[in-house]
Amino acid sequence: MLADMSDIDAETLAPSYPMPRTCPLDPAADLGRLRAAQPVSRVRLDFDGSVVWLITRYEDAKTVLADPRFSSDFATPGFPARLTAQPPGPGTFIRMDPPDHTRLRRALIPELVRARVKELEPVIAGHVEQLTDRLLAGPTPTDLVEEFALPLPSQVITDLLGVPYQDREFFHQTTKVMGDVHVDGQTRMKVRNDLRAYLDELIAGKEADLPDDLLGRMSRRRAEAGLSREEVVGIATLLMVAGYETVANQIAVGTVALLAEPGRWAALAADPAKLPAAVEELVRHQTVTDYGARRAATEDVEVAGQLIRKGEGVLVSLAAANRDESVFPDPDRLDLDREFVDHLSFGFGLHQCVGQVLARAQLMAAWSTLLRRIPGLRLAVPVDDVPFRNDMFVYGVHALPVEW
């Protein structure tokens, strides 16, 4: 028998979301309680007061993310869309359904496949070595976010797109504003439109000489891929925002998790063969896409015995799903020897992160070099004094004081 919940009950009983953490390196404890007692439940979103369904269990998360009846389209009735003041615009394929999602994603995939990323690995390694040189030549303590975690993916994404790296501060400020949960929708939209205008001008210049970078190549094959100029600008905007913010914070908060337990960093430095598995465990354990994946039901759908009606919003907590005890034994423990099970940090289904191969390459390069060259790395402050990003949609740390 399907469970149902009246609108009155939902409005009255729904707890607030996001829920506060009690430990900065673990998702909110309330998510675990919901996963055990009511894995499909109602929550009220802090930013606008709307009530949506929250999915907290691994298998249910995969079900929703793979089911085409749950739309990613911003314009779908019930979509948790009031986070911004207007639709995201052409090219933003993560907020679209097929066929537009398929067409736009297909145009980008050749730039991010494993073979292309393999060509980029020496460039990534060069950036990592230079940043590490600068770390070692500078004073201690130092901020690993400012001196390493942010610059690396910023350099990589600007190299990939063919964007002048000297404009990096503009991009850092842009993503900071767009990712702040306290920034109103109109301000966030203005900043995004400023970024689009910048990239539109940049792409206009590339259309003249078609350089051998991502934007140049996409401009060259735009007609055959069925892309409009505005869609190329939108894809570039999406990559600039999502292409380094998540990686930067994954490096930073993953490093905190490694350093939080005495001896763990040195042990991993002494056994680098463990690093590939450790990267996957760090990405699972510290799920930086903390807010979740947004969807809306286009039909009445049953999930885990709960009826979700057409036109109702859904939020899939990837962080909660990645701590599901039925899939990951002792899930709150960072276990660098854990047997691999596919986590959901890069999503699942049609919208699984198109840049995950590039993200993994950067994480491997960053941690392998830091472990090799700075085996004595340690926190310069207690974990509780690290400023975690509880005010941002992408979790991580605002700063990371370290020494060696």
Residue 240 is encoded by which pair of tokens? Answer: 């600039």
Residue 50 is encoded by which pair of tokens? Answer: 């709307």
Measure the CA–CA gap between 366 and 127, rounded to whole angstroms.
9
- In this prediction, residue 351 carries a pLDDT of 94
Beta strand spans in 216-355 (E): 293-297, 301-303, 306-308, 313-316
pTM assigned to the model? 0.90
Helices (H), 261-349: 264-270, 275-285, 318-321
In the predicted model, what is the mean pLDDT of residues 185-201?
A: 82
6 confidence band (pLDDT: 50, 70, 90): very low
229-277 confidence digits (pLDDT tens) = 899 989 988 888 787 889 999 999 999 999 999 999 999 999 999 999 9
CATH code for 7-403?
1.10.630.10
Task: Decide the pairing of beta strands 51-55 and 313-316.
Answer: parallel
Provide the β-strand partners of residue 142.
402
- In this prediction, residue 355 carries a pLDDT of 93
- In this prediction, residue 209 carries a pLDDT of 83
Residues 6+ apart with CB under 8 A from 393: 179, 181, 290, 291
In the predicted model, what is the mean pLDDT of residues 12-37?
A: 92
Helices (H), 210-228: 214-220, 222-225
Q: Which residue's entry shows tokens 């067409």?
A: 103
Residues 6+ apart with CB under 8 A from 307: 2, 3, 4, 300, 301
37-74 confidence digits (pLDDT tens) = 999 999 999 877 889 999 999 999 999 999 999 999 98
287-318 confidence digits (pLDDT tens) = 999 889 999 999 999 999 999 999 999 999 99
Q: In the chain, what are the domain boundaries?
A: 7-403
- In this prediction, residue 3 carries a pLDDT of 47
Cis amide linkage into residue 141, ω under 30° from 0: yes
362-403 confidence digits (pLDDT tens) = 999 999 999 999 999 999 999 999 999 988 888 999 999 999
74-96 confidence digits (pLDDT tens) = 889 999 876 555 667 788 888 89
Measure the CA–CA gap between 288 and 151, rounded to whole angstroms.
18
187 confidence band (pLDDT: 50, 70, 90): confident
